[in-house]
Amino acid sequence: MIRQRFILLMATICVAINLCALPRYTMAYDIHLDTQSHYLYVNLNIMFDQPTTDTVTLEMPVWAPGYYMIMDFPKNVSDFKATTDGTTPLTWTKTSKNQWAITQQGRQLQVSYRVYAHEHSVAESRVDNRSAFIAPNGVFMYVKDDKEHRVTTTYHMPSGWNKASTGLKPVGANEGTERTFVAPDFDTLFDSPLLLGNHFTTYFSHEGHDYEFAIETPDGFSESGIIDDFKRMVSTTTRLIGHVPYDNYCVIHLGAGGGGLEHLNSQACYTSGSYRFASHDDYLRHLAFVTHEYFHLYNVKSIRPFELGPFDYSRECYTPLLWVSEGFTCYYECRLLMQAGIVDGDYLLREISSSIRTIEESEGHHHMSLRQSSYDIWLNFFNHSENVISYYDKGPILGLLFDIELRRLTNCQRGLDDLMRLLYNRYYLDLHRGFTEAEFWQAAAEVAGEELTTLRQYVDTTDDIDYDSILTPAGLALDRNTWSLYIINNKVSKEQQKLRKEIIGK
């Protein structure tokens, strides 16, 4: 702990020295799109308030928060040029795979480069004839050690395009083919993907906040269906936490594909490409996906492990707590839909049963703890070998077990909701930082009134979970032949009925 503090102090001093070397400056980007060749043409203008001959090092992220793998975004950058005024070239050199060091001369620095953008991923950019999805981490560079700098971005869209959907609010006239946005810092810029084009949009206000749905392929979209359910889910979620950290929230739904990514005031998800769902279960899967990404604006973007922000975009960002950020979010995507009256308790039991089945039938649960699966995500992102488990599977099981245990230990006075609220209020609102692993367990003990040693054992080790000891007090049981959760009907006490009603509403 002492050593960590020493390193932090030295890092702070070094940053301060580096920043002192450069005069104050403004940063403005212009982005042009080539829809035929799938390139973004990026121009950066830095204007110093006095002439300088210092070295300016620009840095581009190598990963995107929420997508825990090294993406090496600079691999898509080419034709890098630096000039003083657009004509007089400056010398520059690469100093690492994601850094460009420029020898500056004078007040103005103009940098241009192009970014190949033809990936169907929520973490990477794509531009084509239909639209453009901008994932900012792989497009923009910041001055090294100064990510807190304000930045302006102006997009020049092809003729015929007239919409730019994002969590950021546009500056100036919101018409024609040009859109300008100002981000107070690069964490905000990187957390604000955009959909550009002439896609379908619908706007509405709900309980004092503004919402936008931006949909690339709106086939079969009906506002009376998903928007109504979305509003019910949002009301349930914001009531649970008791605070809304955004003015506006943007849902970006891309065409056919896979994956979704959470942001503080937006989400970007690929869909099936249509809103004509084959079954009600298909619709619920879509709604649960939207709910999952929405709940992340709390659990991971604001209720966050200490290591997850402010980010170091140059390297892996290890945390042992993704099972809280992702696993509890999986539990809440069921619980919120249930509390919003969209599904019943059977839905929650069915979904958690599926997670239990996946874990208990896997070889990996004998070899990797839940805690380790969080830490090693950087090795295991697409690894489905027999040596690993996913916190997406074991995490929601712990979500249910936490909720039951917290309610049992407090005679249903407190539950997992109270732990989420405590973490939000204490660390996000009051201390403006994430929580450490020790602080998480300490907060859980405060809510429970005692240490949660058994649950910690199920997180930190590969020991078998004694389901009966936790489920029985909630009037629930597990069929070990099918790994299905079910309701105990006979000889159930009033206490068991009360706890079960808290968990599944019946």
Helices and strands counted in the chain (H then E)? 15, 22
Among the listed residues 65, 62, 74, 138, the one whose alpha carbon sits nearest the alpha carbon of residue 100: 74
**DSSP label of 310:** S
**Residues 342-381: x/- map of binding to Zn ion (CB under 5 A)?**
----------------------------------------
For the CB of residue 174, give the shortest distance to Zn ion in the complex, in Å.
31
For the CB of residue 65, give the shortest distance to Zn ion in the complex, in Å.
11
d(CA 60, CA 107): 23
For the CB of residue 42, give the shortest distance to Zn ion in the complex, in Å.
29
User: Considering beta carbons, is residue 29 or 328 the nearer one to Zn ion?
Assistant: 328
Residue nearest to Zn ion (CB): 326
Among the listed residues 222, 282, 212, 220, the one whose alpha carbon sits nearest the alpha carbon of residue 249: 212
Name residues whose C-beta falls within 8 Å of residue 322's C-beta, 6 or more positions apart in sequence: 68, 305, 373, 374, 377, 391, 395
Name residues whose C-beta falls within 8 Å of residue 212's C-beta, 6 or more positions apart in sequence: 165, 201, 202, 203, 248, 249, 250, 251
For the CB of residue 329, give the shortest distance to Zn ion in the complex, in Å.
5
Tell me how crowded residue 320 is: count the other CB atoms within 10 A of its CB. Answer: 21
For the CB of residue 315, give the shortest distance to Zn ion in the complex, in Å.
22
Go through 468-506 and write b for each residue having 16 or more CB atoms within 10 A of its CB, e for each that does not. Answer: eebbebbbbbbeeeebbbeeeeeeeeeebeebbeebbee
Question: Which of the residues 223 through 252 are near Zn ion (CB under 5 A)?
Answer: none
For the CB of residue 261, give the shortest distance to Zn ion in the complex, in Å.
8
User: Considering beta carbons, is residue 133 or 298 the nearer one to Zn ion?
Assistant: 298
User: Considering beta carbons, is residue 57 or 390 the nearer one to Zn ion?
Assistant: 390
Is residue 31 within 8 A of residue 154, CB to CB? The reply is yes
Q: How many residues bind Zn ion (CB under 5 A)?
A: 1
User: Considering beta carbons, is residue 297 or 470 the nearer one to Zn ion?
Assistant: 297
Cβ-based burial of 85 (10 A; exposed 0-12, middle 13-18, buried ≥19): exposed
User: Considering beta carbons, is residue 326 or 376 the nearer one to Zn ion?
Assistant: 326
**Residues 98-117: x/- map of binding to Zn ion (CB under 5 A)?**
--------------------
User: Considering beta carbons, is residue 326 or 437 the nearer one to Zn ion?
Assistant: 326
For the CB of residue 326, give the shortest distance to Zn ion in the complex, in Å.
5
Strand (E) positions, 8-64? 25-34, 39-52, 55-59
Is residue 211 within 8 A of residue 222, CB to CB? The reply is no
User: Considering beta carbons, is residue 229 or 326 the nearer one to Zn ion?
Assistant: 326
**Residues 271-310: x/- map of binding to Zn ion (CB under 5 A)?**
----------------------------------------
- One-letter identity of residue 304: R
Is residue 248 within 8 A of residue 205, CB to CB? The reply is no
User: Considering beta carbons, is residue 434 or 475 the nearer one to Zn ion?
Assistant: 434
User: Considering beta carbons, is residue 326 or 418 the nearer one to Zn ion?
Assistant: 326
Question: Which of the residues 306 through 345 are near Zn ion (CB under 5 A)?
Answer: 326
For the CB of residue 427, give the shortest distance to Zn ion in the complex, in Å.
19
For the CB of residue 292, give the shortest distance to Zn ion in the complex, in Å.
6
d(CA 178, CA 163): 9
Question: Which of the residues 124 through 143 are near Zn ion (CB under 5 A)?
Answer: none
User: What does the binding site for Zn ion look like in residue numbers (CB under 5 A)?
Assistant: 326
